[in-house]
A = this chain, B = another copy of it.
Amino acid sequence: MAVYTHVSTEEIFEFMASYDEGEVISFKAIAEGVENSNYILQTNTGFYILTLYEKRVNPDDLPFFLGLMGHLVRKGCNSATPIGDRQGNILRTLCGRPAALISFLPGLSVSRPVPNHCFQLGQEMARMHRAASDFNLSRENALSVAGWQKLVNQCEGRADEVMTGLKDLLYNEMTFLKENWPETLPEGIIHGDLFPDNVFFLGGKLSGLIDYYFACNDILVYDMAIAINAWCFERDGAFNVTKASRLLRGYAGVRPLSDDEIAAMPILCRGAAFRFLLSRLYDWLNRVEGALVQVKNPAEYINKLKFHRAVKNSREYGLDI
């Protein structure tokens, strides 16, 4: 839950005076996302999301994130998109922070995805990968192999506070991933954070993707490995192969997968589980009592990583049929 920066009525009126979006008639802080301050804003012409970017977002990355959202919408993807002021600026300043007015995307995220949700997510992810292929900016993934090593270095001294043996697990996994991480798979822009929170559905149909603030250039099917981790485990920790199979098939129906991409799924899933284990572990070890952000326990991703370490080939993800 976010909302760090309080924007007063007077400040929002002054900010919106530069836009052609009508008169502000309602403005409420929403508890969405963990990185930024978000408001829902109503004018006499419609609803919008106003986002103030807090310190975890690098301002230099904002032209990439906001430009990508606009690019995807222009190419026909369902996504929230930034709205320009009268001078065409999509990146503004409010209360001393970078800020953007974003279109309001109807839809709700699902708490308990069923296989058909996963199928639609796979389709939309592939459409997004294709649509982003001619976007003219790029952004390195700060949370890929080199970034993991930094987090391992920062966390290993205290990792065993969370679970005995975690330090060794981190060390062994880091060594394995560094030596075996694929280097020749197709790359492009990925969303990087396709958790159920960031995917909206309306009447059972996927209505759009939100929160592109981890988007970056990386192995395309690494996006699917993240989604397998986020969508295909039940609450009791069991892996649901039907969901994974539907996700992969939805994707492959729009952007066919090569044999190499299929064969790489186990290590990509290990890498994705490792990435979220590390970022959650870092946040957990550095959590501040009383902070508004709810820190997620890293244990969930220790278990997911262990699952993927035991996977022998991609058939176990439902890719054999």
Contact = CB atoms under 8 A, between A and B. Distances in A.
Interface of A: 1, 3, 8-10, 12, 23-32, 40, 42, 47, 104, 106-112, 202-203, 289-292
Q: How many copies, total?
A: 2
Nearest to A105: B26
Given A10-B110, A10-B112, 19 more contacts: A1-B31, A1-B292, A8-B112, A9-B110, A9-B111, A12-B108, A24-B108, A25-B106, A25-B108, A26-B108, A27-B108, A28-B40, A30-B30, A30-B31, A30-B40, A42-B47, A42-B106, A289-B289, A290-B291
Nearest to A28: B30
Nearest to A49: B28
Contacts of A111: 8-10
Nearest to A291: B290
Pick the 4 closest A-B CB pairs, nearest first: A8-B111, A29-B31, A290-B290, A25-B106
A29 B26 contact: no
Nearest to A13: B108
B32 A32 contact: no
